[in-house]
């Protein structure tokens, strides 16, 4: 599933095509993806001008001059195609601008989603209302993380994947950040000291920033809107490297936690 850096890369690609443009066509080719597509989506978008694009956690945001926000989630296989030569079977939604540019949301597994809400209600959107801070924002630091983890006996990896603790982190970058910070994925959250949390926050920000600069990671179907694949995968420290040698000389291990693969180094991470 595309994670925060992949969504950020997608938004950056769409921004080049859509920002400041008037929408002349907005059409859904089916009634639903993972959830029903709002019936008034076409009416609210057609004729509107796009005033900006952004991201919240793993969701992309497209703002219009009608005080609406189009919210999209890429699910497991979603991607936007820019100026496609022809429509494909799994292109489920299309936006066309007055400049003649076209973007199509392609999602063959249909685990993604589309929604539209008034800008003033965005913070209360059903998936955003209880979300934690953005990991790259100034609102996320060791003090905030320590407070969120107080009394939590769950493993730190599970807590970092909890969107109510911090928004947008996914399996790949949590594994990478924990390794960079030298913290075992099964370390009890409430037992991790403040100095180690400082290292963890720094690692999270560094890993995400590096991944965004590299255009995300190539995972299955993910590609930026221009078709370019992300190349951060070549810099993975532990993720997907089971049996390979860690920088410390020990072997990278893998186990399954709650159905997700956890990659780590038992020597580096405590």
Query: Which active-site residues does the annotation give?
Result: 2-3, 58, 260
Q: How far apart are CA 171 and CA 55, in angstroms?
A: 19
Q: At what angle do helices 194-213 and 142-149 cross, to 10 degrees?
A: 120
Strand partners, 72: 60, 114
> At which residue do the structure tokens 């589309």 appear?
114
Q: How far apart are CA 206 and CA 188, in angstroms?
A: 23
Q: How far apart are CA 86 and CA 104, in angstroms?
A: 10
Q: Is 3 strand, coil or helix?
A: coil
Q: State phi, psi for 96 to the nearest 5 degrees.
A: -125, 140
Give every CB contact of residue 27 below 8 A, 6+ residues apart in sequence: 42, 93, 94
Q: How far apart are CA 230 and CA 45, in angstroms?
A: 30
Q: Is 239 strand, coil or helix?
A: coil
Q: How far apart are CA 92 and CA 110, in angstroms?
A: 9
């Amino acid at each position: 599933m595309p994670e925060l850096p992949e969504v950020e890369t997608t938004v950056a690609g769409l921004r080049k095509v859509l920002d400041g443009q008037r929408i002349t066509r907005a059409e859904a080719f089916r009634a639903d993806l993972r959830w029903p597509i709002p019936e008034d989506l076409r009416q609210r978008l057609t004729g509107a001008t796009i005033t900006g694009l952004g991201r919240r956690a793993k969701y992309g945001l497209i703002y219009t001059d009608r005080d609406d926000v189009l919210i999209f989630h890429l699910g497991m296989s979603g991607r936007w195609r820019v100026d496609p030569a022809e429509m494909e079977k799994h292109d489920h939604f299309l936006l066309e601008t007055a400049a003649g540019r076209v973007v199509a949301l392609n999602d063959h597994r249909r685990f993604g989603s589309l929604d539209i809400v008034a800008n003033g209600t965005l913070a209360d959107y059903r998936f955003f209302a209880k979300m934690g801070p953005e990991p790259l924002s100034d609102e996320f630091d060791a003090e905030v993380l320590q407070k969120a983890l107080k009394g939590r006996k769950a493993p730190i990896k599970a807590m970092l994947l909890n969107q109510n603790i911090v928004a947008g982190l996914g399996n790949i970058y949590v594994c990478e950040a924990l390794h960079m910070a030298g913290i075992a994925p099964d370390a009890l959250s409430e037992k991790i000291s403040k100095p180690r949390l400082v290292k963890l926050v720094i690692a999270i920000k560094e890993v995400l920033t590096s991944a965004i600069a590299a255009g995300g990671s190539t995972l299955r179907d993910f590609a930026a809107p221009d078709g370019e694949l992300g190349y951060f995968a070549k810099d993975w420290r532990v993720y997907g490297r089971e049996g390979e040698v860690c920088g410390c000389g020990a072997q990278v291990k893998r186990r399954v936690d709650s159905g997700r693969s956890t990659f780590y180094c038992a020597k580096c991470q405590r």
